[in-house]
Amino acid sequence: MKTAVAVAACWAGGINAFITPGVPVVPVSARQASSSSGRVAATTRMGVSDREGLASSACSRSEALSTFGAAVLGAVVVGTGVPAPASAGSVAEANKRLSEYNLPPVVDVPGGFNTLLEGYGKDGALKNSLGSSNRDPILVTWNYPKGWIVQRPNTDTNKEAGTVSTGDYGRGDSAGLFVAPKSLIGGSSLSSKDTMEGVLKKALSQKGENQFQSFKLKSVKDGETDFNGNKYYIADFQYELLTGAGFTVERKGVASVTQIGNSVNAVVGATTANRAKTVKPQLQEIARSFRVYEGKFD
């Protein structure tokens, strides 16, 4: 009986980990800034690779991943990259690379956090997703807790597949990218709760309808403005995940959303309700620090 419960907990964790947040990421348009400083235009994106786990004592991170490997990952997270060591992203490494592109450094990194800096869209496979014939790669950056796993796009001779995300997936903590055409919001402002709710619901339903219920947008607040003048908005939300096992899991999250050029971009983080008190400050830091830079990157 204990074994069955543990397996069920792991299975539920995998569903929440890989279904909820709309794993597919659509790359944002890439363009070179025209400013005399030679800086590259900055864009924010949100992709959501939401991970879920019911009982950390019931399954480890590796157990959760292997449990859903064949049954869930093949159908739900097609093309997700191989997890990278959590220690791979130091602040110094990120800032060195940013300086090479004349981009601002990452500052005010809290203790216990690493900095993710990852390229996306390197092979141009998704360049037409937002209706443009010329799309260059982007750089994504945010701070994430040490010990979390980084997942990167998988690139082979055919195309780049998967997304960029960070998480303690066995426990249900994660944050990932989501990008959509600006037509998603029309001419509305992201400061509007109705508009923000539409964006987040779209992010949570990327793998199909009827994946969640009881969505509630608790607040939308002004976030930071990046060096190019792009405004970010921070959303606090909660919902119930519908699992394949027939039960629901309450989740709470924090997202950062911005609209730049022809796209709406966000990073969406979430965790289980019973871990929210501990994890929410980490999700808030992820949202605060999230940036995407577009341009000519190696």
11 membership: H or E segment, kind and range: helix 2-18
pLDDT at residue 154 in the model: 75
Question: pLDDT at residue 62 above 90?
Answer: no
Q: Is 168 helix (H, G, I), strand (E, B) or coil?
A: strand
> For residue range 235-244, what is the model confidence (pLDDT) as tens digits?
999 999 998 8
Domain count, the chain: 1
pLDDT at residue 244 in the model: 84
Whether pTM exceeds 0.75: no
pLDDT at residue 121 in the model: 66
pLDDT class of 290 with cuts at 50, 70, 90:
very high
- CATH code at position 156: 3.40.1000.10
pLDDT at residue 85 in the model: 42
Q: What percent of the chain has pLDDT over 70?
A: 60
What one-character DSSP code corresponds to residue 47? B
pLDDT at residue 174 in the model: 94
Over range 263-292, report the average pLDDT. Answer: 95
What one-character DSSP code corresponds to residue 69? I
CA 38 distance to own-chain centroid: 28
pLDDT at residue 236 in the model: 98
Mean pLDDT across the chain: 72
Q: End-to-end CA distance of the chain: give it in Å, rounded.
A: 53
**Residue 111 belongs to domain spanning:** 2-294
pLDDT class of 178 with cuts at 50, 70, 90:
confident
Q: Is 261 helix (H, G, I), strand (E, B) or coil?
A: coil
Q: Say which range, 32-36, 80-84, 127-131, 178-182, has the weakest mean pLDDT.
A: 32-36
Q: Say which range, 97-101, 210-214, 291-295, has the weakest mean pLDDT.
A: 291-295
pLDDT class of 19 with cuts at 50, 70, 90:
very low
Whether 206 and 176 have beta carbons less than 8 Å apart is answered as: no
Distance CA 47, CA 57 (A): 28
Q: Say which range, 6-10, 69-73, 133-137, 162-166, has the weakest mean pLDDT.
A: 69-73
